[in-house]
């Protein structure tokens, strides 16, 4: 049985959801052969994760390379046990590098630990409040834009170590590019050769040899080259000292009220980025393995991982798309593979940790640069350019602002522009106008005006498309544009799927004016959502609940009855000039 977003076993109460991790229901029909497949998948993904965890840890500003490994160990096990995706592999990822490095630069590593725990609390709250589904509404051009922007930031930020350049690094990418160009003459060819070899292997390792992870081969090749040649290339041991072996001590972040205020923005960014990437990874896993993840439980699992990881000196983690895909391709059958991946890393730390000291820094930079090349979604730029130019604009703006400023600015601006363009498109499909036989798109049936008699003193308006704040002016303009003063107005709302408060207010104002002028307003074929909103706003009572009809024929019949009754009483003549 797979994790399912609509799983009836998830009993809901009010705003909250009683979450159930997928681990509890992943072993129905589980066989011994599945167990051995999980072991094989966990071993493979653990090997793949090893150099990436170390590299991401160093690039994120960790105090020592072991913290990247312990982030992968803790987060990988917690998400497997408490998350909502059957095959998710969690750990440090490239997307976090610019954000985490920025926090360390301003607030130090202690600030990063606290920001990570704050982000974890936010993620748990999002999951329990059932907000997992809302993250699906982030437009793909925004996601592709900031993903490509992050890829560029990672690539460029690794160039100094890749080329052996030494200078004080500025905080933003444009200044960093300028500094790299200015110091290019000081490049150490031996460092560059080491990084170039590792980069070529990591990027161009043949697919037919994919069972041997390219990152591992790249790390081994770079390390062997430096060891055999004796080149003075900086290694992890030279930069960070002895690799810490054994289990880390519990580490409580320093909690200060002012620091919490200062870190609220970065913590929100970590939570937002972590939730987006983890749910994207879970969705990719669903497509590969034909499963369905529980988005809310996944957010809870990710939150717990980010709360507990800092206690062991770790930092922010999320679902890793490449490692999750490798887990599935390696034959994983349950979340147990994710736990085994963590155990593989634990064994390495305890047994082979000192070997990490011999890895060249340039080699790790090369591996991260290869990851960045694969992260960037350049194909999407071309696809959107050939298709929707507005989506291309959103993606390009998000990408540019992410690169020039930072991820928060890029995503915020991208979302704002995407919303504006969406409103513009939706406003274009909304219309309000006079309904006549010539303008009626309904050719027959009880809601069509064709071939039917409209008594004198009755006019009809057709409403089409969603009525919301951007379309409210159309409503007001259409009702003002008719020069004559009718006795009865019929609103046909058959093609209005939704209405918002602004459009309701415009309709209320129009109804009040019509009632003052003695005009009766009838409604026909109102759909469920608009009818619910009309009732909730009190508009149904002010308009008269007896004036709502299931179709246009019934509304016309009522108009005839009202005109006949008014004629007998002498109260109604014909159409009067306004």
Structural domains in the chain plus CATH codes: 32-377 (no CATH), 431-577 (3.30.750.24)
Q: What pTM was computed for the model?
A: 0.76
Bridge partners (DSSP) listed for residue 90 = 319
pLDDT for residue 483 is more than 60: no
Please write the tens of the pLDDT for every residue from 220-274. 999 999 999 999 999 999 988 888 878 888 888 888 889 999 999 999 999 998 9
What average pLDDT score do residues 79-106 get?
92
Better-predicted residue by pLDDT, 405 or 308: 308
Bridge partners (DSSP) listed for residue 521 = 489
- Of the pLDDT bands very low, low, confident and very high (cuts 50, 70, 90), residue 433 is confident
User: Rounded to an integer, what distance in angstroms lies between the CA atom of residue 122 and that of residue 114?
Assistant: 13
Please report the pLDDT score of residue 324 as a whole number: 93
Please report the pLDDT score of residue 443 as a whole number: 78
- The torsion defined by the Cα of 185, 190, 195 and 196, in degrees rounded to 10, comes to 80
Please report the pLDDT score of residue 3 as a whole number: 41
Please report the pLDDT score of residue 480 as a whole number: 64
Please report the pLDDT score of residue 198 as a whole number: 96
Please report the pLDDT score of residue 127 as a whole number: 92
Please report the pLDDT score of residue 478 as a whole number: 66
Please report the pLDDT score of residue 160 as a whole number: 95
Give the 3-state secondary structure of residue 253.
Answer: coil
**Residue 178: burial class (beta carbons within 10 Å; 0-12, 13-18, 19+):** exposed
Bridge partners (DSSP) listed for residue 549 = 524
Please report the pLDDT score of residue 484 as a whole number: 60
pLDDT for residue 486 is more than 90: no
Q: Angle 407-428/389-404 helices, nearest 10 degrees?
A: 160
> Could you tell me which residues come within 8 angstroms of residue 433 by beta carbon, excluding any fewer than 6 positions away?
439, 461, 462, 478
pLDDT for residue 1 is more than 60: no
Please report the pLDDT score of residue 241 as a whole number: 83
Contact criterion met (CB below 8 Å) for 404 and 153: no
Please report the pLDDT score of residue 476 as a whole number: 65
pLDDT for residue 177 is more than 90: yes
Phi and psi at residue 244, to the nearest 5° = -70, 125
- Of the pLDDT bands very low, low, confident and very high (cuts 50, 70, 90), residue 130 is confident
- Of the pLDDT bands very low, low, confident and very high (cuts 50, 70, 90), residue 470 is low
Please write the tens of the pLDDT for every residue from 36-68. 999 999 999 999 999 999 999 999 988 888 899
Token reading at 332: 């994983």
pLDDT for residue 578 is more than 60: no
- Of the pLDDT bands very low, low, confident and very high (cuts 50, 70, 90), residue 18 is low
- Of the pLDDT bands very low, low, confident and very high (cuts 50, 70, 90), residue 471 is low
Please report the pLDDT score of residue 7 as a whole number: 43
pLDDT for residue 454 is more than 60: yes
Contact criterion met (CB below 8 Å) for 222 and 161: no
pLDDT for residue 8 is more than 50: no
Q: Tell which residue, 89, 50, 48, has the closest CA to residue 349.
A: 50
What average pLDDT score do residues 480-502 get?
82
Average pLDDT value over all residues in the chain: 87
């Amino acid at each position: 049985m797979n994790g399912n977003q609509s799983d009836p076993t998830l009993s809901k109460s009010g705003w909250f959801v009683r979450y159930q991790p997928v681990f509890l229901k992943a072993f129905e029909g589980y066989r011994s052969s599945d167990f051995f497949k999980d072991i094989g998948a966990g071993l493979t993904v653990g090997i793949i994760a090893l150099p990436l965890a170390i590299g991401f840890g160093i690039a994120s500003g960790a105090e020592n390379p072991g913290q990247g490994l312990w982030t992968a160990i803790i987060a990988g096990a917690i998400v497997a046990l408490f998350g909502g995706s059957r095959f998710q592999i969690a750990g440090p990822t490239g997307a976090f590098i610019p954000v985490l490095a920025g926090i360390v630069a301003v607030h130090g590593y202690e600030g990063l630990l606290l920001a990570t725990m704050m982000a974890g609390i936010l993620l748990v709250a999002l999951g329990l409040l059932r907000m997992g589904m809302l993250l699906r509404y982030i437009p793909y051009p925004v996601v592709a834009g900031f993903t490509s922007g992050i890829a560029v930031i990672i690539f460029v930020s690794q160039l100094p170590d890749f080329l052996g350049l030494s200078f004080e690094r500025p905080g933003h990418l444009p200044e960093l590019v300028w500094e790299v160009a200015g110091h290019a003459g000081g490049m150490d060819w031996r460092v560059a050769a080491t990084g170039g070899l590792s980069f070529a292997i990591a990027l161009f390792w043949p697919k037919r040899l994919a069972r041997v992870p390219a990152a591992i081969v790249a790390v081994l090749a770079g390390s062997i080259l430096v060891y055999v040649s004796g080149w003075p290339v900086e290694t992890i041991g030279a930069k960070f000292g002895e690799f810490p072996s054994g289990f880390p001590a519990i580490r409580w972040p320093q909690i200060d009220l002012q620091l919490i205020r200062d870190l609220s923005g970065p913590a929100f960014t970590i939570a937002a980025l972590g939730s987006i990437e983890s749910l994207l990874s879970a969705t990719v896993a669903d497509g590969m393995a034909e499963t369905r993840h529980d988005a809310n439980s996944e957010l809870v699992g990710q939150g717990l991982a980010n709360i507990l990881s800092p206690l062991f000196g770790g930092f922010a983690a999320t679902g890793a798309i490449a490692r999750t895909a490798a887990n599935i391709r390696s034959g994983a059958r349950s979340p147990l593979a994710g736990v085994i991946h963590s155990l593989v890393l634990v064994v390495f730390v305890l047994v082979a940790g000192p070997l990490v000291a011999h890895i060249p820094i340039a080699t790790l930079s090369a591996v991260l640069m290869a990851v960045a090349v694969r992260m960037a979604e350049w194909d999407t730029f071309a696809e959107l350019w050939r298709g929707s130019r507005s989506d291309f604009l959103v993606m390009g703006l998000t990408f540019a602002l992410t690169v020039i400023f930072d991820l928060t600015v890029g995503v915020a601006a991208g979302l704002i522009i995407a919303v504006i363009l969406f409103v513009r498109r939706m406003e274009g499909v909304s219309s309000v106008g006079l309904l006549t036989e010539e303008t009626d798109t309904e050719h027959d049936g009880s809601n069509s005006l064709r071939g039917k008699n409209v008594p004198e003193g009755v006019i009809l308006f057709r409403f089409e498309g969603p009525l919301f704040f951007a379309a409210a002016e159309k409503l007001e303009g259409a009702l003002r544009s008719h020069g004559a003063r009718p006795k009865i107005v019929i609103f046909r709302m058959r093609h209005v799927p939704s209405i918002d408060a602004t459009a309701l207010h415009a309709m209320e104002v129009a109804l009040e004016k019509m009632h003052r002028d003695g005009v009766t307003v009838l409604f026909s074929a109102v759909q469920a959502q608009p009818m619910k909103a009309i009732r909730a706003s009190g508009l149904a009572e002010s308009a008269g609940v007896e004036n709502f009809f299931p179709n246009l024929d019934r509304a016309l019949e009522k108009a005839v009855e009202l005109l006949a009754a008014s004629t007998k009483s002498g109260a109604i003549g014909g159409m009067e000039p306004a």
